[in-house]
Structure 1
Amino acid sequence: MTGSSSKKHSMDAENIVKETVLITGGGGYFGFRLGDALSKKGVDVILFDVTEPIQPMPQGVKFVQGDIRVVSEVERALRGATCVFHIASYGMSGREQLNRKLIEDVNLKGTENIIEACKKVGVSRLVYTSTYNVVFGGEAIENGDESLPYFPLHLHPDHYSRTKALAEMKVLEANGSSLEGGQGLLRTCALRPAAIYGPGEQRHLPRILGYLEQGLFQFLFGDPRDLMDFVHVDNLVEAHILASEALGDSKGHRSAGQAYFISDGRPINNFDFFRPFVEGLGYPFPTYRLPLSVVYYFAFLTEMVHSVVGRLYNFQPFLTRTEVYKSGVSNYFSMEKAKRELGYAPCPHSIKESVEWFKSHGYVHKSRRYTAKHLFRDMVLVLLFAVVILSWFPRVF
C-alpha cells in the first residue's frame, strides 16, 4: 500500500460516524449486560440510571447519573445518541408493586420524557423493554402471539402491569413521529420479555434464596401442568440488538411500530424450572401443594395489610397477587414473529449456571437462625392464613 492510499484509508476510517446508544436503567442487571455486549461490538454506550452500576465499567461504556422523571436530565444525556434502549422501570415485583405513585411517575412520566426527548434532540431509534403482562392478567394464555389485545387496563391486579401497557402504547404510537429540525423520523418498537434469569441476576433469585434461608419455601401451588416462559439474559440482549438493527434503514425499518414476545421458547412449569436451583444449593424441594385460589387470597390479604402498615413497616410480601398468577397460571407465547422479522434464535441455557455463579461467589448453604423478627413475621403469617381459612371455609367452622 502506498503512502497516499494509506493516508486516504485512514481519513475514510475517521469519517465513519461511530454509533452511540443510551440505555435507561443501565445500572441494573439487564441494562449493564446489554451495554457490555454493545461495547464489545464497537458501539459507544451511555448507561443512564439513578444508581451507579456495582460492576467495573467496560471499555467504551460511560455512566451518566440521572432520573428519567426529569426531562432536562434525559435531554442532556441523549444528546449525540443515535438509539435509545428504554429499560428503566419500577414496580416489577414484591413490595415495589404496591407503590402506585412511584410506579406511575417512572413508568408513565418517564416514558413520556424519553419520547419527547428523542424528538427534541433527534434520536431516530427507540427500543422499549415491555413485559408479557401487557396482555396477561391471570387468564391462561397458551402459545399466544402478538395479535392478542391488551389486557383491560382496569382489570390489572397491579399498577406495574397497567402502566407498562400504557407506556408501550405511547411508545408504539410515537413511531413515525417527526424529529425536530427536520432530522427525520422516530422509529420505535417494543420487546415483551418473559421472566429474566441468568448468572448474577439481582432480583428474583436473591429473593428466592432469602426465602430458602428463612425456611419459607415450604409449598407449591397451582396445577403442575401449567407452563410459563423464561428468558436468559443473553438471549434477551441479543433480541434487543436485533430489534434496534431492524429499526434502521438497512433493514427497511421492519420492526418499526411492532411488538415482539421474547423468551427461550421452552415453556416449563414454574416450580420445575426453579427446582435445580433450590436443590443445587442444598435445600430440600417442597412437595406439598396448595390450591391456587387459597394462595391468591392470602396474597390479597397480605397486600391489604401492607396498605395499612406499609408506611410504618415496609415488609416484603411473600407473594403479590400478580406473582401468584404469573407463577401458577399458564402464560407462554410464540416466538415466530421475532424469529421471522428479527432473526431471533435463542440459545439453550440452564438455571444451573446461576447455581454455579452463587457457589463461585462464596455462597454456602445457610441454616435458618430463628430471631424475634422471624417470630413476629410468622405470627403475622399465621394470623393471615387463619383469616384465609376461616373466610374460605366458613361452613367447616
Structure 2
Amino acid sequence: MATRSRPVSKKCAVIGGSGFLGQHLVESLLEKGYSVNVFDIHKGIQNDRVCFFQGDLCNVQDLQLALEGVTTVFHCASPAPSSDNRELFYKVNFIGTKAVIRACKQAGVQKLILTSSASVVFEGSDVKNGQEDLPYAKKPIDYYTETKILQEKEVLSSNNPDENFLTVAIRPHGIFGPRDPQLVPVLVDTAKRGKMKFIIGDGNNLVDFTFVKNVVHGHILAAERLEKNSAICGKAYHITNDEPIPFWEFLSRILVGLGYDAPRYHLPYLLVYYLAVMLSLVSLLLKPFLTFKPTFTPMRVALAGTYHYYSCEKAKCDMGYSPLVRLDKAIEETVQSYSHLRRAGSTAEM
C-alpha cells in the first residue's frame, strides 16, 4: 500500500541542521509532521527520516539542491560565538546568508526564518527588558555580533510580499540545553582547571538564558504565523525563557548540579574589564610574534558583569509565544543530560 505523501507546504529545510540548535529544530519539525531537508557543511545528524545535503553555504548551486520543493527555510548556520575568526564570521553570516536568500528566491521558497541574536543591540553596557526597537549596536562587542547585524539586516530587508517571499528573524539569548557543545562543557573544563572561583562584579546582574526547546518553539511559531500581511513579516523577535536570572547564579546551579564548587570570590567589574582591554591590546601587539589568547576578553567580561535581558512581549502578542519549559526544569534537564561530566566521586543533585 502506497504511503500518502505529505503536503508540499509541510516540506522545509534547515540550514545548519547538524548544529546544536539545528538538531533540536529538526527533531521537533519531524514530530510535527514536517518533511525535512538538512543542509550543512558536515553531517552531524543521524536520522533516516531526514534528507541530508552537504555543501558550501556560499554556493548557490549547492543550496538549490537542498531547497527543491521546499516552501519554508530555517537558517541557523553560524560559527560558534567563541571563535575569533573574523573572516569566517563574515563569510558564513553575511556572504553565506546573501547566497541563502538568492537560492531561496530561485527555488521558489516562500518563507525564510533566520536565527539571529539578541546581541545585535548589545554594546557591553546594561540592557534591561530590552525591546526590539532598540537600535543596532554601533560598537558591536565582537565579530560574531558585528556580522549577525549585517545578516539580520539582509534577511529582513529581503522580505517582499509582492514576490511571495516572507522573512522573519528570531533573536534568542543565551541558548542552553542537552547536547550543547559550548556552555556546559566549557564551564566544567574551566572549573576543573580551578578557574571558576571568582564572580565578576556584585553578582546581581540579571541575564536571559534560554532553553533550546523554547528557542525551537519560537522558530516554528514564526514559520506558522508568517503569512502575507501578518504582523511579523520583515520583523525581528526576542525569544527567551522570560525568566531573567543573575548570571552567576545560573552558572553556579549548573556547576553545583554536576558536583563542582560555585564561584564565591568577588572581583570589581571595572578593574577586570580594563585588565581585559589591556590584555587584548597586548595580544594584538604580540600577534606577529606569538599567539596569545587571554582567558578574559572585554566581550566575556561584559557578558559576565552587566545586565542583559530582553522583553518577549512582542512575540507573545504577535505569535502567541510562551516558553514551553520553565527555567528550573530546563536547568534540571540540562544537568541530567551531562551526567558524564559530573565530578568524580560527587553525589551532588539538583
State the TM-score, normalized to the length of structure 1: 0.80
Shift of 1:70: 2.1
CA displacement 1:44-83 (0-9 Å, x = unmatched): 1112111211x531x4222211121222212222222111
The answer to whether the 8 Å contact 2:13/2:74 transfers is yes
> Against the structure 1 CA distance between its residues 44 and 228, is the aligned structure 2 distance closer, same or farther, given a 3 Å change threshold?
same
Q: 1:353 aligns with which of 330, 333, 339?
A: 333
Paired AA for residue 146 in structure 1: E
Distance 1:355 1:297, change over 3 A: same
Matches within 5 A, 1:1-397: 16-17=7-8, 19-53=10-44, 55-57=45-47, 59-93=48-82, 96=83, 98-152=84-138, 155-176=139-160, 184-248=163-227, 252-307=229-284, 317-347=294-324, 348-350=326-328, 351-359=331-339, 362-365=340-343
* Distance change in 2, residues 1:315/1:61 (3 Å): farther
**Cross-structure match for 1:384:** none
What is the CA–CA distance in structure 1 between the aligned matches of 2:290 and 2:211, rounded to whole Å? 34
CA distance in 1, matches of 2:242, 2:341: 30
Match of 1:188, SS state, is strand
Q: Is the 8 A contact 1:43 1:60 kept in 2?
A: no
Aligned partners of 2:252 and 2:263 also within 8 Å = no
Listed one character per residue, the Cα deviations across residues 218-250 of structure 1 (whole Å, up to 9, x for unaligned) are 20102322111111000111100000111135x
Q: 1: CA distance between counterparts of 2:289 and 2:49?
A: 44
Counterpart of 1:56, as a letter, is Q
2:348 corresponds in structure 1 to none
Residues 1:61 and 1:309: Cα distance change in structure 2 (over 3 Å): farther
For the residue of structure 1 that corresponds to 2:242, the secondary structure is coil
**Aligned partners of 1:333, 1:60: CA distance in 2, in Å?**
36
Query: CA shift at 1:363, angstroms?
Result: 3.2
Tell me how far 1:286 sits from its aligned partner.
2.0
- Taking only aligned residues, the RMSD between alpha carbons, in angstroms, comes to 2.4
Secondary structure in structure 1 of the residue aligned to 2:113? strand
CA offset digits 1:358-378 (Å, max 9, x no partner):
11xx334159xxxxxxxxxxx
SS of residue matched to 2:206: coil
Q: Deviations over 1:73-120 (max 9, x none)?
A: 122222221111111112512xx1x21111111111011111111111
Deviates more, 1:216-225 or 1:22-31: 216-225
Q: CA deviation at 1:201?
A: 1.4
Deviation at 1:125, TM superposition (A): 0.3
Task: Give per-residue Cα distances to partners, 1:296-322, cap 9 Å, x unaligned.
Answer: 233334434554666987676423322
Quick one: which amino acid aligns to residue 37 of structure 1? S
Contact kept, 8 Å, 1:127 with 1:243, in 2: the verdict is yes
CA separation of 1:33 and 1:15: change in aligned 2, threshold 3 A? closer
- Structure with higher Rg: it is 1
Cα deviation digits, residues 301-357 of structure 1 (max 9, x gap): 443455466698767642332222122111111111101111111031331222211
Instruction: Give distance in 1, aligned partners of 2:145 and 2:89.
Output: 10
Instruction: Please tell me whether the aligned partners of residues 18 and 44 of structure 1 are also in contact (alpha carbons under 8 angstroms).
Output: no
Q: CA separation in 2, counterparts of 1:91 and 1:280? A: 25
Scaled by the length of structure 2, the TM-score of the pair is 0.90
AA partner of residue 109 (structure 1): I
Distance 1:18 1:133, change over 3 A: closer
Distance in structure 2 (CA, Å) of the matches to 1:312 and 1:71: 39
User: Number of matched residues?
Assistant: 342
**CA-CA distance at 1:15 after TM superposition:** 8.5
